[in-house]
Structure 1
Amino acid sequence: MKEHKPNFVAGLEILPFQDENLPIHEVITVKGLIKFAMYGKTSEFRVRTFFTKEPETLAWIDSFSNDDVFWDIGANIGCYSLYAARNGIQVCAFEPSPVNFWLLSKNIGLNKFGNIVSYPFALSNENSIVRWDPNSSPGSADNQLSETKQATDPTAIQVYSIDQLIAMNAAPFPTHIKIDVDGIEPLIVAGAINTLADNRLQSLMIEANENDLDRLSQIKAVLKGKGFKDPISRHEPYFDENYYLPYANFLFRRE
C-alpha cells in the first residue's frame, strides 16, 4: 500500500539533518560496561580520556560504600555520575547546560540505571531564577554561572542552594559531593552551611584554580570551620604544560 503523505509536505524536499542515532561507545570498567552517546569532539574527548583525565576522581568514587549518596554538581555528560551509578552508588547529577543535560539524560537512559537522577538546574548560594549565557558546545565545561548576572544573557535558569534542596527533600542527603563548576565554588559552599555541618557528609571534591588564592582561602576557611581536614590536591602531569595547569581537584575529608 502506498504511503499517504499529508498535503502540507507534498512537493517539499527533505532537508539534511543529523541522525538522532548518535555514535555509542562502551567503556569497560571493573564493575561492568558504561555506554556513552557522543555528539561533537568535546564529548568524544571526555569519553576517550575517561580513565586518564582524572584518575583521582575515579579512585575517590571507588572508596564509596553502597549505601552512600553521591552529588555530582557540574555533571556534564555524566562520566563520573555514571561511574558511581555503575558501582552501585545512589547518584544525584546536577547539570544546567541544556545540551550537556540532553547528553547526560541520554547516557542515563542508554545504561538503564535506576539509581541515578538528573537535575536540570544550577547550584549557588541563593534560590532564584537568573539569566546566563551557556556555552552551546556539547561536553563543554565553560558553562558556569557568572557572579555578575547580565540581564541581556539569553537563557533563564533556576538556581538553588544545597541547603534549600535538602530542606525541600528534593534529593537524598549527600555523603559525598563533587563540585566542578569553573567559577562559583565559594558561592556553592556558602549555600551549604547546614549541610556541611552535618556529619553524614563525609567528603567533598572541589575543582579549583590553584592560583586563585582568594577563592581557595574562602573555601578552606568554611570547610575547616565545619570539621574538614586540609585538602589533598592533585592534577595530572598530562596537563602541566597547557590550559589546565593551574586547576586541581581538592579533596576534603571530615576530621
Structure 2
Amino acid sequence: MNKLLNLVVLGIVYMTKRLNFPRFFKFYLFQALRGKKLMASGRLKKSGLLMNLDIGNFVEYMIYMYGEHDEEWIKKIINYVRGKTFVDIGANVGIYSLSFFKDAKKIYAFEPESRNYSRFLGNIKLNSISNIEVIRKAVSSSNRKSKLFIDKVDQGRHSLISAGEDFVEVSSTTLDSFVQKNNIRNIGLIKVDAEGAEMKVLQGALKTMRKYHTPMLVEVNSPTLGISASYPEEIFSFMEKLGYSGYALIGGLLKKIRAKHFEGVVSENILFKK
C-alpha cells in the first residue's frame, strides 16, 4: 500500500472504532486488512499502556478496537501473578505481559520471532517498563537450534511445528534449564501459547512443575496440535499424571473439565492447577 492509501484505510478503521460500528462489521473489516502492515496507536484497557499496534494482525486489531484481548482470562488469573513471577511462553507482542506488569514482581517473556520481539521491546521502551525481560528464544523440550516456521499473514501463528516451507533458525531452551540457570523462584503462573508445540514445552518444564506445582495456562488448539501429532487428550493425560486438573472459563467461572470437553471444540485456554 502507498502512503496515501494507508492514510485512507486508517481513517476508515478509526471511524469504525469511533462510531462503534457493529462487531460483525469490524470482523469483516479485519478480513480486508489481514496481513497488511498498518500501524496505529491504542491503549490496553487493563494496564492503560499506550501501544504501537499493527492492525493487520488480529490480536493487535482487537486491542485497537476494544482495548483488550483474552480479557476474561486476564481478569481471572491476575491473582496468580500478583507479587510473583510470571512466565509468558509464546508472548507474541506481549499482550499478557504488558497487561500484568503492574501486578507481577518480575516477568520473563519468550518470543523467538524477530519482528514480534522487536515490537514487544519497542512497547516496553515506550512505557518505560523495567520488570519485563524478553528472551528471544523458543521454549521446547531440549536446548538446541530449531526451525521456526513463519506465517506471513498472521504474526501469531509462527510455530516450531512444520506448517509450510518458510522458516528461520532460532535458539530453543527448556523451561527447566532456564529456571535453574537463572535461579527463578516464586513463579505464580506460566502461560503457554506455542501454536501446536505445547507438549514439547510441557515436557521441558517437567522438573519445574514437579518442584513448584506452578499453575499453567495452556492454549489447547486441536488443529495445531494435530499437525504435531498431539491431541488434547495427550496434554490432559500428561498434566493429570502430575496431579494437575484442567479448568475452562465458562460463563465467567472456572469449571473443572476433562479432555472429552474438546469434542467439537477448536481452541480454548485451559488452566491446569493443583
Structure 1 residue ranges without an equivalent (≥5): 1-15, 237-244
Higher helix share: 2
Q: Which letter maps to 2:271?
A: L
Aligned residues: percent identity? 21
Q: Is the 8 A contact 1:91 1:116 kept in 2?
A: yes
- TM-score for the superposition, normalised by structure 2: 0.70
Distance in 2, matches of 1:125 and 1:187, equals: 5
1:149 shift after superposition:
9.8
| Pairing partner for 2:268 from 242, 248, 251 | 248
Which structure has more relative contact order (CA 8 Å, sep 6+)? It is: 1
Residues 1-255 of structure 1: matches in 2 within 5 Å? Answer: 23-29=40-46, 32-42=47-57, 44-48=60-64, 53-137=69-153, 140-146=155-161, 154-169=167-182, 174-199=187-212, 201=214, 203-210=215-222, 214-232=230-248, 246-254=266-274
Give TM-score, length-normalised by structure 1. Answer: 0.75
Distance 1:49 1:196 in 2: 37
The question of whether the paired residues in 2 share the 8 Å contact of 1:129 and 1:157 is answered with yes
**1:54 shift after superposition:** 1.6
Where does structure 2 lack aligned partners over 5 or more consecutive residues?
A: 7-38, 253-264
Cα 1:27/1:199, change in 2 over 3 Å: closer
- 1:164-191 CA-to-partner distances (Å, cap 9, x unmatched) read 1122227556321111111111111111
CA contact (8 A) 1:34 1:111 kept: yes
Q: How many residues align?
A: 222
Structure 2 residue matching 1:163: 3-state secondary structure: helix
Checking the alignment, whether the CA contact within 8 Å between 1:131 and 1:149 is kept in structure 2 is: no
Query: In the superposition, relative to structure 1, how do residues 170 and 23 fare at CA in structure 2: closer, same or farther (>3 Å)?
Result: farther
Encode CA deviations 1:103-123: one digit per residue, 9 max, x unaligned: 111111111111111011101
The answer as to whether partners of 2:53 and 2:61 remain within 8 angstroms in 1 is no
Q: Call closer, same or farther: CA 1:40–1:27 in 2, change over 3 Å.
A: closer
Misfit runs of 4+, over 3 Å: 49-53, 170-173, 210-214, 233-236
> C-alpha distance in 2, partners of 1:111/1:181?
26
1:188 is aligned with what amino acid?
Answer: V
